[in-house]
Structures are given as C-alpha cells and as structure tokens.
Amino acid sequence: MPGNAFGTAFRFATWGESHGPAIGCIVDGVPPRIPLTEDEIQPWLDRRRPGQSKFVTQRKEPDTVRILSGTFDGVTTGSPIALIIENADQRSRDYSEIKDLFRPGHADYTYWKKYGIRDFRGGGRASARETAMRVAAGAVARQVLAKAWGDIFKIRGAMIKMGPLCINDERWDWDIVSDNPFWCPDAKALPLWERFLDTVRKEGSSAGAVVEIHGEGVPAGLGEPVYDKIDADLAKAMMSINAVKGVEIGQGFASAALAGEYAHDAMRMLGGEVVFKSNRSGGVLGGITNGQPVIARFAVKPTSSLLKPQQTVTVDGRETMAITKGRHDPCVGIRAVPVGEAMMACVLADHWLRHQGQTGRQPD
C-alpha cells in the first residue's frame, strides 16, 4: 500500500522525483471559503529554497508554485487543491559517477532492495526535494488555522543545535531567527556556528542538527486517543522528514531522569481560567492538547552525501569508495526548519478538522 500521503481530515499527497520534470501535491479536506492564492504559499517556499546562502545546496530552483485547482476568486471551494512546482535545474550529469554504487547512509540501497529498480538521479522520491511540497501543504494548513484561530496562532521553528554546538536558552530571541542562515535564536552563538559550518563545508564533511518547533495559540482538546494522539502524529510527521532520527515532545528524553514531582506542570486558576505553572509537557497530555504551546524537537543526522570517501559497494557487488560531488547541503538541518514548521501546521490542521467531526463542537 502506498505511503505518499499524510493526514486524515486535512490530507495531502505528494508526487515527483528530484530529477523529474516537476513535483506537486494535492491538498484535500480544506474547508471552503478560506483565502488562498499563490501569494499565501510562495513566501513559505522561499524560506526553504535552495541556493540562498553558501550553507545550503547551490542547486538553482526558483520553486515557483502554481495552484491548478480548488480555488475560485481567491478562496477555496472545498475541492482538492493541486499545487505544482516545475523542476528547473535537474542536472542529472552530476550523478554519473555514483550511478552504480550505493552511498552509505543513503536510501538508494533500500529502495533497490524494496523495488528492484534503480533510479540513480539524485535520490528520486527519497530526495529532500520532496519536502518543498510539504512546505506548500503547510502553507495551506496555516491558512486554515489562521481563519479558525486568528492572530493568536503562530508556528515557528529554530535550530537549537548544530553538530556539537548548542545555544544558550536564556538568550533565545525569536526576532533574529529569520535574519541568520541557520534559524539560530542565539545571537552570541552565530559567529562560532558560521566558522564551524564553513570548515565542515570546506572539508567535504557534514553536520547534524536539532530543530525545535513551537505551535502557539493552539486550543485545548485536539488529538484523538489512543493511537492517533497528537504527539504520536507529530512524532510520525517529524520522523518522516528526511534524515530525522529522533523526536521529542516537551521535555522529551530529559524527562526520564526527573523525579515525578518535577516532571509535571502544576495547575492554578488565573482570572477564572486554568493556567499551568510550567510547560514540561510540551502542550500535550494524554495525547490531547492542553492549551499551552505545543513544542516538538527533532534530530537531523548529517547529510550522507560527502566529498570524503566512504567504503561502499556497487549494484553488482563490488567493493569501492563513494565520493559524492553533487550539490548538497553541509547541514540539512537548516532547511529542515521550515519543513518541521510545515509538518506541525499540517498535523494541527488535521486534528482541528478531525476534532470538529468527532465531537461536534468547537474546542474551548
């Protein structure tokens, strides 16, 4: 059975290969009368676009999105929304040298084992180019949620770790996140991060990252017990992003080390409303949102395409060394930030629509 779609009530399905003529997606389940034109989608794509700094792949892709269906006079109609992006710079020649060998850490070996076919052009479906359509679908999800929840709703992400380098939480400043090539929220960390990644890039190596996504203004009550908990769906969403190897909600792995009395969020009343004295849970209790910001974190492993030689084998069972000369990201975590934001937007939109169908009432 196919695995190219995500979501249930808000559902999108993507298609296209890294080096085919185009990539695209269908977004289905969008309620009618939501404002939507290309102008609402393009800015989010621009944030993910390659070639914007020396720290990301130099592939030249304008990533211009077109809406082919599902809107009329600038609003959605309730019909499926088809989005398409032409591939402009699908230089397959870069891949000729690796045509017959498997790159360690890359999906080409497992695709070959699964399908018995080899599309050597830059990873085919396994390429991170697919994530452009996640960002596009996420932009549609944001429109759905913005109409439902208003200005209070916001999703934003940051890179909180690059390779071995951390940030200082105390210096977290959302205002600088969009102004640096790393989505780093700690101004003081920036110079070191730049020097580090420059070295990595020149050495032909690569670096991993940890990305954190915040969803603010999310009402309480979203999430379906027992197996479609909203944190379970977030985990699936984040883990499905290329190169992600771990996902956390709230305190995550750190919570394992805490004593029970320090691991939960005390509750108090404030102005007639329930308030939490902390957000250790990351906004989710029992798989359902509690009205606090939803906080998810994920780990991205270093890019598997390296200039440094790696031991590998060929399709016909010969031992050799892999060196990837194509255009690649020294730290794919950078471009994973807008993708992680988009996936959270899609999960929230999905659970918002599911909740309405499930309970027949608006969450508080």
Q: Under rule CB under 8 A, which residues in 143-162 are in contact with its own copies?
A: 148, 161
Q: Cα–Cα distance between 107 and 120 in angstroms, integer?
A: 11
**Which of positions 175-194 make contact with its own copies (CB under 8 A)?**
none
State which of residues 141, 146, 218, 249 lies at the interface with its own copies (CB under 8 A): 249
Site for its own copies contains 318 (CB under 8 A) = yes
The C-alpha atoms of residue 281 and residue 295 are separated, in whole angstroms, by: 8
Binding to its own copies in span 8-47, by CB under 8 A? 8-9, 11, 13-17, 20-24, 26, 28-29, 31-33
Q: Which of residues 64-93 bind its own copies (CB under 8 A)?
A: 68-70, 72, 75, 77-82
**Residue 38: exposed, middle, or buried by beta-carbon count in 10 A (0-12, 13-18, 19+)?**
middle
Q: Which single residue is written with the structure tokens 């759905």?
A: 144
- Residue 294 β-bridge partners: 215
Among 48, 106, 129, 142, binds its own copies (CB under 8 A): 106
Q: Taking a C-beta distance cutoff of 8 angstroms, is the pair 42, 65 a contact?
A: yes
Contact 248, 210 (CB under 8 A): no
Residues 50, 122, 223, 326: which binds its own copies (CB under 8 A)?
A: 223
β-strand partners of 85: 23, 65
> Is residue 360 a contact point for its own copies (CB under 8 A)?
yes
> Is residue 287 within a helix (H) or strand (E), and if so which, with residue range?
none
246 in contact with its own copies (CB under 8 A): yes
Site string for its own copies, 250-289 (x = CB under 8 A): xxxxxxxxxxxx-xxxxxxx--x-x--x---xx-xxxxxx
Residue 10's SS3 state is coil
Q: Does residue number 109 form part of the binding site for its own copies (CB under 8 A)?
A: yes
Q: Which stretch binds its own copies (CB under 8 A): 149-157, 185-193, 226-234, 334-342?
A: 226-234
Answer positive or negative: Cα dihedral of 165, 160, 208, 236.
Answer: positive
Residue with smaller CB distance to its own copies, 121 or 156? 121
Q: How many residues bind its own copies (CB under 8 A)?
A: 151
Q: Using the minimum distance from each CB to its own copies, give the nearer residue, 175 or 257.
A: 257
Question: Which span sits near its own copies by CB under 8 A: 57-65, 111-119, 183-191, 334-342?
Answer: 111-119
Of 46-54, 89-97, 171-179, 205-213, which part binds its own copies (CB under 8 A)? 205-213
Give the residues across from 274 on adjacent strands: 269
Region from 40-48, 88-96, 186-194, 309-317 binding its own copies, contact rule CB under 8 A:
309-317
Block residue for tokens 């999905």: 350
Give me the phi and psi of 342, to 5 degrees please: -65, -40
Please identify, using beta-carbon distances, which residue of 179 and 261 lies nearer to its own copies.
Answer: 261
For residues 15 and 24, the answer to whether their CB atoms sit within 8 Å is yes
Among 46, 58, 95, 236, binds its own copies (CB under 8 A): 236
Q: Which is nearer to its own copies, 177 or 284 (CB)?
A: 284
Options 135, 158, 167, 200; binder of its own copies; rule CB under 8 A: 200
Q: Which is nearer to its own copies, 179 or 312 (CB)?
A: 312
- What sign does the dihedral 196-202-206-212 (CA atoms) show? positive
Please work out, in degrees rounded to the nearest 5, the angle formed at the alpha carbon of residue 48 by the alpha carbons of 53 and 4.
140
Nearer to its own copies, 44 or 276 (CB): 276
The yes or no reply on residue 310 touching its own copies (CB under 8 A) is: yes
Work out how close the CB of 299 gets to its own copies at its nearest, in angstroms, rounded to a whole number. 4
* DSSP conformation letters of 24-87: EEEEE-PPSS-B--HHHHHHHHHHH-TTSSTTS--------EEE-SSEETTEE-SS-EEEEEE-
Q: How far is CA 337 from the centre of its chain?
A: 6
